[in-house]
Each structure stands twice: as structure tokens, then as C-alpha cells.
Amino acid sequence: MKLNNNLIFFTLLMVTMLAVNTVYAASETANTNYDAFGITIYKPGIHYISHKILANKCDAITIKSDNVTIIGTGVPLTSENGLVRGIYGQNLKNITIKNMAISKYHKGIHMVNVINISIINNTLTSNGDYNIYLIDCPNSTIINNTLTSSITRDIYAENCPNSLIINNTVNSNGDTGIHLKKSPNSTITNNRVSSGYYGITLWSSPNSSFVNNTADSSEYGIYIFNSPNTPIIYNTVNSNKNGICIDNSKNNTVINNTADSNSIADVVIDYSSYNCVLINNSLDTRGLRIGNTYDHIGGINTHTVINTTINGKPIYYYKNNNTKKVPEDAGQVILMNCSNMLVENLNISGAYYGITAQYGTNCNFTNNTLNSNGYGIYIENSKNSTITNNNANSNDNIGIYSGYSKNSTIINNTVNSNLKGIYLSHSTNSTVINNTADSNIRYGIHLCSSQGTSLMNNIVSLNGVNGIYLQESNNNQIINNRLHLNRDAGAFLSNSHNNYIIKNIFNNTKNLRMGYGINYWNTTKENGGGNYWFTPKGTGFSETHADNNGDGFCDEVYKIDNHNIDYLPIYYENSIFALVLEPKNDNENKKNKIDASKSIKSKSLRRTVSDSTVVYGSNFDKQLANSLKENTYSDDTEIDRDTIILGGPVSNRIANQYNDRFSIPVTNDNPGTNRGIIQVISIPSGSSSIVQSYKLIYIAGSDRLGTEAALKYFETLTELPDEPITVEWVDGKSVLV
């Protein structure tokens, strides 16, 4: 009888444990050890999750048997501290996890060295670093799952060859939506991914495929690195910074894809990639970008582009070609290692690069209209390029760019209302003559590390920062240019030496801004002397210093600084140049130039915003930036004036660069959920020898609502704060913490 009582007690105990714990097997119950700190499955079988598991100090479910199927019945797995894993298994085979709802663990599903893992119809939300994390799991199948809001990656699979990633929906706020690494022969099909830094990535996984995926609203929609022989077919990549990016990969095919509203490029092929084939792609906004090369040609001249369009017009890609005229119906032109090409009479808009030429020789670009692109004309590592009679206006970055090139001739072009008009970088012996560079947001003409250039007879006026900017550029000639009404200075010379600057007409409120450098400001009287020095109000040196001997030059020398003197400033009694271009009164000018939002209450702060560059990182931050100011820029821009940095270091490159300089660096944990910070610091401008600095105004949060809270509170300020301000998004509004 004692034995029977013990048997009854044991049976009742087992029934009670089954009632209060969360796993029961379809065919037997002895295969599970019930632990006060979670569930451990020791034997094969089908296990249904029917009750809540409260395990905060260890993994909720641990699998230690092959041939296990776990099926959810509507009861969620939820952690209260985010320190443990939802479901964990190691050194197993034939594992299936279905219909589970897993949230707020450190990792949602974590499998190591599991052969034939199937993860089907699960919902994983806000699981710390990873929603699904697989290491050394060949033949993995991940199908029909919904994943949101991991910090790092939603689906991560490393050393998982022959994997299938199919029909998943991923809304990522972290680094990557779907990431496969060292997982060859994998298939990524019919997934919808949005809002990560990377949408879908493939690293070191050759012979895989992307088919019919949608990747939206990320920095990179689809990103392939070191993964040759990967077809990318029938995908849709919209509203990213870059749609499809192929990096350091060979023999990839990009066929029948659609790309729209990507802000930098629809398709990017890095210079380290070779033999890519693009066929029948519809690129509706920014077109094709083949990576910058600088000093190595790479694979830029090995690709094939067939029947691929931008905005319905053909993209013409020429490689290793000699002597050909580009058809005049082009929507984008790309010349790689070509000679004697003629590009004329084109009308291109909407591309990130309107016309690109790399490693070219003796190519001619004439009579083209290149408006509203990222760059109008982009020349790199080329010789003897001729760029004449083009209109390159209202481009997001640069009207005409020549980088790492020699003997470029840039004549009779109009480059107005770009970020920069003409930009020469690391280029030598160029000629820039008779161009008009007007109303560009930063510089009319910018030389960076460029030598032996002749800037002559150019009209450079009304540019937002400087008319002509010489940055570490020596031995150039700046002659007979008109520099009028440029906002910060007519010319800025930063660490530039031995430049001959003569017979120019300076007519700006501030004509010069000088960094360290010794330059020459006049020739002899017989050869024309020095320069005209006017201001719009008639207070320039040429207007206020006498010519008593009537030789046409001021009797006194014009000492710019201790190392720069115009010994023969040209005298001009009636400043007709100043009168012709004299601006409206200051109040009217300010009214016309302010482009900050009227939601900013303080007129002073609105002026500060209008005078600053607003730089955003993610597409979400772009929307916020556009609500702050009319003209905003992505984080690939450079800082050369007061700058508002919108968004934290994860999404914004410039924020990442300067984050640690602020008294309170922003992270995903600081200042915390739904919290943001407004901070202001000063940094030195381009040269340490200049007594000048730029303000960096940092508006960022630990998450999107935190950033939005900081922005909304910023709009209510009357002036920039001296100390950091922390705010929180509460009940649909920003509240001071």
C-alpha cells in the first residue's frame, strides 16, 4: 500500500507540474526536465508551448535533444530583463521552431552547430542584439517570420551554408535586417526588409541568390560583400540611400530589378568588384554609381550594362573605348578607361552622377545641360579632359568635379546653385576660364591640394560661403576674376602658398579670409599691378585710399597680413562694380535668405538655423531635417560652417565622428528610451592658424522618438543652450527632463 501511495503522489506531482509549466509533448511527457529556471528538452518529440515561462536568470527553453519540434499555441515568451535567451540549442540536428512569439530577450532564438534548423511562422520583437542568431548551422530554413526592432541584427546566420531565407518580414531599427556571413549557396527570396542601416547583406557567401525581395528605407537596401557569382533578380529597392551595393565581388548579375527614390545611388558597384552584368533594370531616381578609384583602376572597366534605364532614359556605359560619340538620349553617361570620347548636347537630370569619366584621356564634354543631379560632371584620374559650354546647375553636390586629374580645361560653363560650383581635388595644371559660378551654397570655385591651375576671367558671386576657396593648393594663378557679394568672403586661402593673385575685382563685405600661407598679390605697374579692393558699401581699400600721383594705383600698399601685401592696389574712384551689384537693404536681404522653418519660435534661432548646414543620417532623420530647414544635406557632406547634426552616431557618420567630443555622448542606452539631447560645442575651422571656429549643434536621441523629442524642444528655444538639454517624448510631446 505504501508503494501505491508513493505512485499516486508521483502521478499527482507530474500532473501538477504539467499544469504549471509550459511544454508538453504530443506523445509522451517524460522527455522534459522541468527546471525552476526554465525548460530543458532532453528527448525528441513535438512540444507545445501552452503556459507562460518566467525565466529571467537563464534561458527560457534549452534544447538538448535531436529531432525536436517546438510549436507555440499563442502564449508568448517574454523576458523581463533582456539578459537571457528565448530558445537555445547547441550541437543538434533536425530542430523546428514554429508559431512562437518571442520578445525582449538578449537573443530571441540562438542556435550553435545545429544541422537542419527550421524557424517558421514566428514573431520576434525587440530581442536585444539579435532576434535570430545562428552559428555553424548548415541547411538552415527561416520562413514566414516577422521580426522587428533588434539593436544589432534581426536575422544573423554565420557559417550556415545552403540556407533558405524566405518570406520573412523584417522591420529593423538596428544595424541589419538580414545578414548572412560565410554561408555559401544560400537563397534569400521574397523577403520584405526596411529601416535598418543595412536591409539585407551577404558577406563572403558565394553562389548565393537574391530573388524578389523588397528592401526599403535603409542606408543600403541590398549589400553584397566578397560574394561572387550571386544573381540579384526581380528585387525592389526603394527609398534607401543606396539601393543595391556590390562590394569586392565578381561575376554578379543584376537583372530585372526596380529601384526608386534612393537618395545617393540605385545601384553601386565598388571599384574592387569585377565583371558584373546589369540587364533590364529600371532605375528611377539616382542611377548607377561605379566606385571612386583614386589611384587604382580596379574593376571599373569590366562590367556590362544592357537595357538599363534611369528615369526611362538609357544609361550608357562605355569601357576601354576609343573615339565614339555618346547618343544624345542618354539619362546617364559612364566612361571607364576611354579615350577621345565626345559627350555633347545631352540633357540629364535626376542622376547622382550625370556624366562620369574615370581613367579617361582626351575626352570632350560640351553643350550639355546637367541640372538637379548629385554631381553634374564627375571626372577622376583623367588627362586632357575638355569641359566647355555646359550648364550644371542646382546639383546637390558639385556642378563640375575634377579629381586626381591632369590638364583639365574648364571653359565657358555655368555652375549656379549647387553645393559647390567647380571643385578641383588633387589635380594639376588645369585651366578654369570664363566660367560663371553664382549662388552656390558653399563655394563658387574650390581647389583642394591642386597645383598649377589658372583661374582666369571667372565671375564668382553670391556664393553662400566663399567665392574662391584655396585649400592646401600652391602655385596657382588667379587673374582677372570678379568676386562679388560672396557671403563669408570673396576668397579664402587656407595653408596655400606661392599663388599669384592679380587684377581681380574683389567686392564683398569681407574680401579675404586668410590661413597660413605666403602669396603674391601684384605684378609690376606696367603689367597691371595688383587687385581692385571694393566693398558693397564703398569702404574697400581701393575706394578709401588716394591716388595723388595719378598713376592708377593707391599711394599706400595694402597690407593683408604680415606675409601678404598688395603693393599696387588698383585705385578706382567711382566703384561702378559695387553699385551694379549692391544688394538690397540688410533687412530685406535677411528676409529673403532665411529658409528655416517658421515652427522655430525665436527669430534669432531661426537665423542661426538658416545660417547653418543641417546634416542628417537616416531617412527618418531626413524627414526631421526637412521640417527644420528647406536645404539639408546627407552625412557624406563636409563641415565648413556652423552645422546642425541631426541623429545619433549609429545612423549619422558626422555624429559618429564628433560624438565623443560632446559632454554627453549619445548611445542606444544614453540618454535612454524616448530621450534626446540638445548640445552645442565649437570646433576649429579649416586651419589652426585662423582665429575662427564653427558651432556644432547636436540634436540626437537614443532612438527615433528621442531624436524627435530633442528637435521639437529645440524649436521652442530662444537661443542656443550653454549646457546640454535632455528631453523625453511623453504622450505625444517633448518634455524637459
For residues 700-711, give the mean pLDDT.
88
Tens of pLDDT, residues 462-513 = 999 999 999 999 999 999 999 999 999 999 999 999 999 999 999 999 999 9
Amino acid 313: pLDDT: 96
Distance from C-alpha of 378 to C-alpha of 354, rounded to nearest angstrom:
8
Q: DSSP alpha helices (H): ranges in 286-345? A: none
pLDDT confidence of 683, banded at 50, 70, 90? confident
The secondary structure of 61-92 as a DSSP string is: EEE-SSSEEEEE-SPPEE-SSS-SEEEEEEEE
Q: What pLDDT score does 691 carry?
A: 39
In a domain, 3, yes or no: no
Mean pLDDT in residue range 658-682: 89
Q: What's the pLDDT score for residue 584?
A: 38
- Check pLDDT > 60 for residue 665: yes
Q: Over range 436-441, report the average pLDDT.
A: 96
Confidence at residue 737, expressed as pLDDT on a 0 to 100 scale: 87
DSSP 596: B
**pLDDT of res. 349:** 95
Residue 391 has pLDDT above 90, yes or no: yes
Which pLDDT does position 734 carry in this prediction?
Answer: 86
More confident residue, 78 or 57: 78
Beta bridge partners of 124: 102, 147
Quick check: 241 pLDDT over 90?
Answer: yes
CA 104, 106, 107: angle at the middle one, nearest 5?
95
- Average pLDDT over every residue of 26-30: 38
In this predicted model, which residue has the larger pLDDT, 699 or 588?
A: 699
The CA distance from 63 to 45, in Å, is 11
- Across residues 29-51, what is the average pLDDT? 74
Residue 24, pLDDT > 60, answer no
Residue-level pLDDT at 378: 97
Beta-carbon contacts of residue 210 (< 8 Å; ≥ 6 apart): 188, 189, 200, 202, 222, 224, 230, 231, 232, 233, 235
Please name the residue that has the C-alpha cell 554565420. 158
**Up-side HSE of residue 539: CA atoms within 13 Å toward CB?**
5
Which domain, by its residues, includes 646?
594-736
Lowest mean pLDDT segment, chosen from 21-35, 202-216, 526-540:
21-35
Cell of 365: 564634354
Domain membership flag for residue 13: no
For residue 551, pLDDT beyond 50: yes
pLDDT tens digits, 355-383: 999 999 999 999 999 999 999 999 999 99
- CA nearest neighbour of 109 among 89, 138, 82, 80: 89
Pull the grid cell for residue 722: 550653454
pLDDT at 604: 77
589 has pLDDT over 60: no
- pLDDT of 393 > 80? The answer is yes
Nearest to residue 640, comparing CAs of 373, 441, 382? Answer: 441
567-579 residue pLDDT tens: 999 997 633 443 3
Poorest-pLDDT segment among 313-317, 390-394, 662-666? 662-666
CA gap 297, 304 in Å, rounded: 16
Mean pLDDT value of segment 35-47: 84
What residues pair up with 283 in beta bridges, in sequence order? 259, 310
CATH of residue 687's domain is: 3.40.50.12090
C-alpha cell at 243: 539601393
Categorise residue 542: left if φ over 0, alpha if ψ from -120 to 50, beta otherwise: alpha
Residue type, 536: P
Q: What is the mean pLDDT of residues 588-598?
A: 59
Q: Stretch 47-66: mean pLDDT, rounded?
A: 88
Cα(147)–Cα(126) distance, integer angstroms? 8
Confidence of residue 638 (pLDDT cuts 50, 70, 90): confident
Q: Is the pLDDT of residue 686 over 70?
A: no
Locate 275 and state its grid cell.
565583371
**Does position 20 have pLDDT exceeding 50, yes or no?**
no
Does 582 have pLDDT greater than 50? no
385 vs 630, higher pLDDT? 385
Residue 693 confidence (pLDDT) = 66
Assigned domain for 607 exists = yes
Question: Which H or E run contains 697?
Answer: strand 693-701
Give pLDDT tens digits for 622-634.
Answer: 878 888 888 888 8
Does the pLDDT of residue 610 top 90, yes or no? Answer: no
Confidence check: pLDDT of 36 > 70: no
Among residues 311, 318, 327, the alpha carbon closest in space to that of 356 is found at 318
Residues forming beta bridges with residue 46, ordered by sequence position: 69
What is the C-alpha to C-alpha distance for residues 638 and 443, in angstroms, rounded to an integer?
12
CA distances from 576 to 321, 505, 543 (A): 51, 11, 11
Question: For residues 95 and 111, is the Cβ–Cβ distance under 8 A?
Answer: yes
The per-type count for the chain, helices as H runs and strands as E runs, is 8, 70
Q: Which of 8-22, 201-215, 713-727 has the highest mean pLDDT?
A: 201-215
Does some domain include residue 648?
yes
Which DSSP string do the residues of 336-403 spell out, in sequence order?
ES-EEEEEES-EE-S-SEEEEEES-BS-EEES-EE-SSSEEEEEES-BS-EEES-B--S-SSEEEEEE
pLDDT at 573: 61
pTM for the whole structure: 0.74
In a domain, 608, yes or no: yes
Provide the number of structural domains found in the chain. 1
Residue 625 lies in a domain: yes
pLDDT at 704: 82
Strand partners, 332: 315
As given in the structure block, the three cell numbers for residue 47 are 512540444
Percent of the chain exceeding pLDDT 70 equals 91
> Mean pLDDT: which of 412-426, 541-555, 574-588 is highest?
412-426
- Is 52 within a domain? no
Q: Report residue 576 as a C-alpha cell.
A: 561702378
Cα(234)–Cα(315) distance, rounded to whole angstroms? 19
pLDDT above 80: residue 684: no
The phi, psi pair for 479, rounded to 5°, reads -135, 135
Strand partners, 469: 446, 492
In this prediction, residue 238 has a pLDDT band, given cuts at 50, 70 and 90, of: very high
Q: How far apart are CA 554 and CA 548, in angstroms?
A: 8
* Average pLDDT along the chain: 88
Which tens digit of pLDDT belongs to each residue from 142-157?
A: 999 999 987 888 999 9
CB neighbour burial string for 625-661, b if at least 16 within 10 angstroms, e if fewer: beebbeebbbbebebbbbbbbbbbbbbbbbbbebbee
List all residues 6 or more positions away from 277 whose beta carbon is below 8 Å from its beta carbon.
252, 253, 254, 255, 303, 304, 306
Q: What is the mean pLDDT of residues 645-665?
A: 87
Q: Is there a domain that residue 662 lies in?
A: yes
Cis amide leading into 184 (omega within 30): no
Q: What is the pLDDT of residue 227?
A: 97
pLDDT for the residue numbered 687: 40
Distance CA 602, CA 594 (A): 13
pLDDT of residue 2 exceeding 50, the answer is no
- Annotate 411-476 with DSSP letters as a single string: ES-B--SSSEEEEEES-BS-EEES-EEES-SSEEEEEES-BS-EEES-EEES-SSEEEEEES--S-
